[in-house]
Structure 1
């Protein structure tokens, strides 16, 4: 086992840049998620680490060893692909054993390691089945066992849950995280799913157009985004254009005056956006209120309200009210009052 270090890693295709100077350290036993929209460079970065794509510039170090120019099979990594990539004509056991055979591991040791890997994912009783005889979740666990059986220094996961249905995705997500923590695996995972990244990873790397926008824990990125892209991509967020007019006052482009933290305003004189999380906004029916309900969307455990106030639209998310709660009777057109703590409103620079 060891850590993974990326130093100024770049990938260019002619005049097009897919990845631009990524610097990152994944510590021993840590799970880090590369998160971003399609085409942001996260999968290209993972494939450079795996050795499937040569970098244009930069270095890749595993356990302190420079592996930048080593072929994929000599990097001491284990990879789980989005499509599982199981051999259909091989049994579960043979699929898991394949990597060991390529490494010339003896038959006795190989059989023991295969069964141990299958026990880890609770599939040792299905060693003689073919992939087509397994469910999607079971096939994904076979792919996990195949990556683990070689005892990799770095564990790589490329959108490992995207082919599973929602219920199964949640179950396998917990299994992967528990297994990673129990074995102390240094892990890099690629995903576009926010919930997947927030619940599985120790730290997140948010990427856009080949660049890293912010690195931090889920809480750091959610509570303290450094720019509008991160604020809008990690969770739901109201992003309101405008300018600081006075300490603690933010004048929206619509003309509405919204309050914010005085100290934050002094620290961010260039603020051009106010970021406000929907669940931080208080909502009360009020015949004299300045807001009007434009839409109400019931989502089971929570309800979303779209409110128009002084020409500004704000999304509010609240736990679905009980039958006795006045919010339960809110309907489109009703007058309401909005409130939030000043510290909940984050000030951000203009989008770049």
Structure 2
């Protein structure tokens, strides 16, 4: 049985549709990430699960029990808010104890649970401090401890790392994932950060405009995106609008022509190709002719932005050796591009997508 099940969940604010018919099951001990741009409906979905927003339609089940219209305190959930929502006048221990007091637990049990939760997040030595005396990372862990102290059936996190700097964010997301796995917590996390979702989640749910576009593992979404939006949002991708002719050649809207996999069906389509699957050679070769418009060194990879007949192509590869001709490439130099046709994905045509734009 799924620990959390959403059936045809929807939320309308007047005539505006925030969430439309979301169906999702989160298994016991699984971490699922709701991923998408701002305004896609992911936070509204999470807040409906928590009980802070009343659904317009649909059903929410936790542990097989219908909690669609139950108040937040009756849902057996623990939530970490984006702002942490710590009480500034309360000590760390008092903040962690607050939810337990609302559940009317006895003092001895409260103190035991607070101590246990603070040990889990390695803050038991700071129990008497006030939130203002803590770093951002420590405040975030207090919020985690407060949610964990109630022993929730479902753990909810709303952009929990957005207020941390990049280095701390990387460290804390690993801590959260390790803690979630060690405790076997059924977890739903909201994020707009694809790297965060890819490194933490067992499965990802990509949303846009209130709808679920695709659900799957990071590998499934990256290698087999359902559409151009997913391809462009999970990782980076060269997306080109055009059509497949009867000979299974992809004819770009701007005039280029590329081979497609044998299974491709003639008609309007989107040509999708990941930047790391493109090979680049200096000078005019037998591949697709282009010209360098920018080179970006990112440490583990170098990115080459290439103009092909007025359209942007992105190529990503490890930095070349010092003696490689690629090292000598500069902006405006001619290059040729090539790729294995097996790396190409042909996706459904979607007029609203940002197709053909440089990633």
* Equivalent residue, structure 2, for 1:11: 11
Deviation at 1:245, TM superposition (A): 2.1
SS in 2 for 1:215: strand
CA distance in 1, matches of 2:129, 2:227: 50
Q: Tell me, which stretches of 5 or more residues in structure 2 are unaligned?
A: 353-359
**Residue in structure 2 matched with residue 24 of structure 1 by the alignment:** 24
Write out per-residue CA displacement over residues 1-20 of structure 1, whole angstroms, 9 at most, x where no aligned residue. Answer: 96100000000111111100
- 2:205 is matched with 205
State the shift of 1:345 in Å.
1.0
Superimposed CA distance per residue, residues 269-321 of structure 1 (whole angstroms, 9 cap, x where no aligned partner): 34421011111101111344522222222222221111223443211111111
Which residue of structure 2 aligns with residue 332 of structure 1? 331
1:309-320 alignment to 2 at 5 Å? 309-320=308-319
Q: Tell me what 2:128 maps to.
A: 128
Q: Distance in 2 between matches of 1:318 and 1:297?
A: 11
Moved more, 268-277 or 185-194: 268-277
Corresponding position of 1:278: 275
Work out whether 1:218 is the aligned partner of 2:215.
Answer: no
Cα separation, 2, equivalents of 1:299 and 1:109 = 51
- Find the aligned partners of 2:326 and 2:129 in 1 and give their Cα distance: 55
What are the Cα deviations for residues 133-181 of structure 1, in whole angstroms up to 9, with x where unaligned?
1000000000000000000000000000000000000010000000000
Is the 2:245–2:267 contact (alpha carbons within 8 Å) kept by the matching residues of 1?
no
In the TM superposition, what whole-angstrom CA distance separates every residue of 1:79-107 from its partner, at most 9, and x where no partner exists? 00000100111110011011111111111
Alpha-carbon displacement from aligned partner over 1:241-290 (angstroms, at most 9, x marks no partner): 11112444211112111122112x1xx43442101111110111134452
TM-score by structure 1 length?
A: 0.96
Aligned match of 1:298: 297
Name the CA distance, whole Å, in 2 between partners of 1:234 and 1:114.
Answer: 38
What residue number does 2:191 align with? 191
**Counterpart Cα distance in 1 of 2:243 and 2:46:** 39
- Cα 1:272–1:287 shift into 2, 3 Å: closer
Paired residue for 1:323? 322
CA deviation vs aligned residue, 1:101-121 (integer Å, no higher than 9, x gap): 111111111111110100000
- Check if 1:255 corresponds to 2:252: no
Within 5 Å, which residues of 2 pair with 1:80-159?
80-159=80-159
1:242 alignment partner in structure 2: 242
**Separation in 2 of the partners of 1:222 and 1:90?**
44
Check conservation: 1:322, 1:328, Cα contact below 8 A: yes
d(CA) in 1 for partners of 2:244 and 2:284? 30
Q: CA deviation at 1:322?
A: 2.0
Secondary structure of the residue that 2:178 maps to in structure 1? helix
Higher deviation after alignment, 275-284 or 151-160: 275-284
| 2-structure distance, mates of 1:224, 1:271 | 19
SS in 1 for 2:213: strand
Q: Which residue of 1 aligns with 2:357?
A: none
- Residue 262 of structure 1: SS of its match in structure 2? coil
Distance in 2 of aligned mates of 1:200 and 1:269: 38
Task: Find the residue that maps to 2:151 and give its secondary structure.
Answer: coil
Q: Taking structure 2 as the reference length, what is the TM-score of the superposition?
A: 0.94
d(CA) in 2 for partners of 1:28 and 1:270? 43
**Using the alignment, how far apart are the partners of 2:134 and 2:2 within structure 1?**
33
- List per-residue Cα deviations over 1:47-106 (Å, max 9, x = no partner): 000000100000000000000011000000000000010011111001101111111111
- Give the Cα–Cα distance (whole angstroms) in 2 for the partners of residues 314 and 165 of structure 1: 31
For the aligned residue pairs, the C-alpha RMSD in angstroms reads 1.4
- Which residue matches 2:182? 182
